């Protein structure tokens, strides 16, 4: 791999002022810490985790219009995923100057993230889109190297990793690193205006919120038996939505957006959760997920958020969030993440005649907006660190999951102070190591037993 020669010049300062200078002469750094000044103003990108979400995030990154970006390195534990991602990105963005990832900068294995990050210099960006269990490991190394980060949600799956990410977020802030977290609904212009209107009292006092993500089979939430020729650890990583240690399961990976957008509108995090759920029509699936989840979250003032999740084909489908106030109601999202089609009604029945406000269509894509704003912060050296909020959203989501899986009331402090880490020692994991979660002799994995196993999610 090749690197540009380091110099004491601030690359971030250079990026900020590149439109005003004719040449890359040495200038004094105005950043908190000196950073590398490349020979041009291109922000280089490394993709770590080449699944669908990582591929999509990279396409958004390379589509930013405020200055050039170039993909220079890719990393995954599976070569086929890396090659499929490389092909998809190359076909979507045929401009040759945007992609420069020769075979020597395509890295495979558990240490591949280090090699990919080592291809970058301060001022560049690493994308973390592996299963969330590895998020803190990769983030630690990026901070050490002074690299800006975009990481997918959730960024933690339990109390210990949430605390760890909060501490790492503070370290990133101290080093003036820019960090985006893939809760892209927070960058939705429609939701931003709706938030302002709710806070201004347009629907009165906010008294309740409802959220639904009810669909058929989603992602790898339902996992069939493992073929004998595939190693257990490899199989779990390929089907990571099915295993709690890797992703927090379907609950954490799929429901976090609805939870987060409702907490945004409330401008608070819940302090307690009670929930229920169960497994139905499972056949011979071996994952750890429930098919249905229902949670009542309580905010500090007693206001409730009622959440329903389901991944069962043939049932009523709904993917939306709503807010109810003392003077009216609001649609936070209508169908999936975008467009949100935010609206306010005079009343609670969402009748057209009662429509008080609607965000004009079409809406800017929040997946793109989150990248536009991250790169703008890098080039302009403005504050941009979403780690604390991302960690809190991940923690609150895990709180609801734990309540469903144990059948107990779980508080925010319970979850934050918990010492139960689902994947201890994940930073030492190797591809030929046994998985942190082992199958029973019958090939099945332990699943939650609410009311029977009450102090952990499974035995």
Q: Domains in the chain, please, with CATH?
A: 11-185+369-385 (3.40.50.720), 189-364+394-428 (3.30.360.10)
N- to C-terminal Cα separation, the chain: 45
- 12 pLDDT tier (thresholds 50, 70, 90): very low
Best CA proximity match to 356, nearest among 198, 242, 233: 198
The H or E element that residue 24 is part of is none
**How many other C-beta atoms are found inside a 10 Å radius of the C-beta of residue 118?**
17
**How many other C-beta atoms are found inside a 10 Å radius of the C-beta of residue 192?**
17
The answer on pLDDT for 361 being more than 80 is yes
Q: Check residue 3 and give its pLDDT.
A: 36
Q: Are strands 106-108 and 69-76 parallel, antiparallel or unpaired?
A: parallel
Q: Check residue 40 and give its pLDDT.
A: 66
Residue percentage of the chain with pLDDT more than 70: 91
Whole-angstrom distance, CA of residue 349 vs CA of residue 283? 39
Q: Stretch 124-143: mean pLDDT, rounded? A: 98
Whole-angstrom distance, CA of residue 266 vs CA of residue 444? 41
CA torsion, points 182, 187, 191, 196, in degrees to nearest 10? 130
Best CA proximity match to 385, nearest among 189, 165, 124, 190: 165
- CA 425 vs CA 112, 134, 321: distances in Å: 18, 10, 37
Quick: pLDDT tens for 229-258. Answer: 999 999 999 999 999 999 999 999 999 999
Q: Check residue 410 and give its pLDDT.
A: 98
- CA 90 vs CA 87, 115, 365: distances in Å: 5, 21, 21
Best CA proximity match to 43, nearest among 377, 386, 382, 366: 377
Quick: pLDDT tens for 162-219. Answer: 999 999 999 999 999 999 999 999 999 999 999 999 999 999 999 999 999 999 988 8
The answer on pLDDT for 449 being more than 70 is yes
Q: Check residue 7 and give its pLDDT.
A: 31
| Least confident stretch, 30-39, 206-215, 363-372 | 30-39
**pTM of model > 0.85:** yes
User: Residue 197 contacts by C-beta under 8 Å, 6 or more apart in sequence?
Assistant: 203, 330, 344, 357
Omega before 106 cis (within 30°)? no
The answer on pLDDT for 160 being more than 70 is yes
CA angle, residues 251, 167, 147, in degrees to nearest 5:
95
Quick: pLDDT tens for 308-352. Answer: 999 999 999 999 999 999 999 999 999 899 999 999 999 999 899
| Least confident stretch, 89-98, 300-309, 316-325, 411-420 | 89-98
CA angle, residues 425, 426, 430, in degrees to nearest 5:
110
φ/ψ bin of 249: left (φ > 0), alpha (ψ from -120 to 50), beta (otherwise): left
The answer on pLDDT for 21 being more than 80 is no
Rg, the chain, Cα only:
22
Q: Check residue 236 and give its pLDDT.
A: 97
Whole-angstrom distance, CA of residue 52 vs CA of residue 248? 18
Q: Check residue 6 and give its pLDDT.
A: 33
Quick: pLDDT tens for 274-295. Answer: 999 999 878 899 999 999 999 9
- 28 pLDDT tier (thresholds 50, 70, 90): very low
The answer on pLDDT for 8 being more than 90 is no
Structure tokens at 92: 């979507």
Whole-angstrom distance, CA of residue 355 vs CA of residue 345? 5
Q: In the sheet where 304-311 sits, what is the strand order? A: 355-358, 343-345, 329-333, 318-325, 206-215, 304-311, 292-298, 272-278, 410-411
- 399 pLDDT tier (thresholds 50, 70, 90): very high
Q: Check residue 27 and give its pLDDT.
A: 22
Whole-angstrom distance, CA of residue 171 vs CA of residue 101? 30
Q: Stretch 5-28: mean pLDDT, rounded? A: 31
Q: Check residue 5 and give its pLDDT.
A: 32
- Asked if 387 contacts 169 with a C-beta cutoff of 8 angstroms, the reply is yes
- 67 pLDDT tier (thresholds 50, 70, 90): confident
User: Residue 296 contacts by C-beta under 8 Å, 6 or more apart in sequence?
Assistant: 273, 274, 275, 304, 305, 306, 307
The answer on pLDDT for 272 being more than 90 is yes
Sign of CA dihedral 92, 94, 97, 103: positive
Q: Check residue 36 and give its pLDDT.
A: 33
Burial class (CB in 10 A: 0-12, 13-18, 19+), 319: middle
């Amino acid at each position: 791999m090749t690197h540009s020669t380091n110099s004491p010049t601030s690359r971030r300062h250079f990026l900020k002022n590149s439109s005003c200078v004719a040449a890359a002469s040495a200038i004094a750094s105005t950043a908190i810490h000196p950073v590398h000044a490349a020979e041009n103003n291109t922000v280089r990108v490394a993709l770590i985790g080449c699944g669908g979400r990582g591929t999509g995030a990279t396409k958004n990154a390379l589509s930013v219009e405020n200055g050039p970006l170039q993909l220079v390195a890719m990393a995954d534990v599976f070569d086929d995923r890396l090659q499929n991602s490389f092909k998809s990105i190359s076909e979507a963005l045929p401009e040759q100057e945007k992609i420069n990832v020769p075979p020597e900068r395509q890295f495979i294995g558990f240490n591949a993230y280090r090699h990919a990050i080592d291809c970058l210099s301060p001022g560049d960006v690493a994308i973390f889109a592996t299963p969330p269990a590895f998020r803190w490991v990769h983030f630690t190394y990026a901070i050490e190297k002074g690299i800006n980060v975009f990481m997918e949600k959730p960024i933690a799956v339990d109390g210990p990793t949430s605390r760890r990410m909060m501490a790492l977020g503070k370290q990133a802030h101290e080093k003036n690193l820019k960090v985006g977290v893939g809760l892209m609904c927070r960058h939705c212009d429609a939701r931003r205006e709706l938030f302002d209107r709710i806070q201004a009292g347009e629907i009165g006092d906010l008294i309740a919120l409802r959220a639904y993500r009810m669909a058929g089979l989603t992602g790898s939430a339902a996992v069939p038996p493992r073929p004998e020729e595939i190693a257990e650890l490899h199989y779990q990583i390929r089907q990571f939505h099915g295993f709690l240690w890797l992703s927090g399961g379907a609950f954490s990976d799929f429901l976090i957006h609805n939870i987060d957008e409702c907490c945004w509108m409330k401008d608070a995090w819940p302090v307690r959760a009670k929930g229920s759920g169960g497994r139905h029509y499972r056949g011979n699936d071996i994952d750890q997920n429930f098919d249905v989840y229902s949670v009542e979250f309580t905010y500090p003032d007693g206001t409730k958020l009622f959440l329903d999740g389901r991944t069962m084909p043939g049932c009523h489908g709904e993917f939306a969030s709503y807010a109810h106030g003392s003077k009216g109601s609001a649609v936070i999202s209508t169908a999936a993440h975008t467009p949100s089609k935010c609206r306010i009604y005079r009343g609670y029945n969402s009748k057209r005649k009662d429509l008080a406000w609607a965000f004009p269509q079409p809406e800017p894509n929040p997946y793109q907006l989150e990248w536009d704003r991250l790169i703008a912060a890098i080039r302009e050296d403005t504050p941009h660190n979403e780690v604390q909020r991302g960690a809190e959203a991940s923690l609150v989501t895990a709180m609801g999951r734990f309540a469903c899986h144990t059948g107990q009331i779980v508080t925010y402090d319970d979850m934050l102070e918990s010492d139960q880490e689902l994947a201890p020692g994940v930073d030492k994991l190797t591809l030929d190591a046994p998985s942190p979660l082992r199958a029973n002799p019958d090939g099945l994995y332990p699943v939650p037993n609410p009311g029977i196993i009450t102090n952990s999610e499974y035995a």
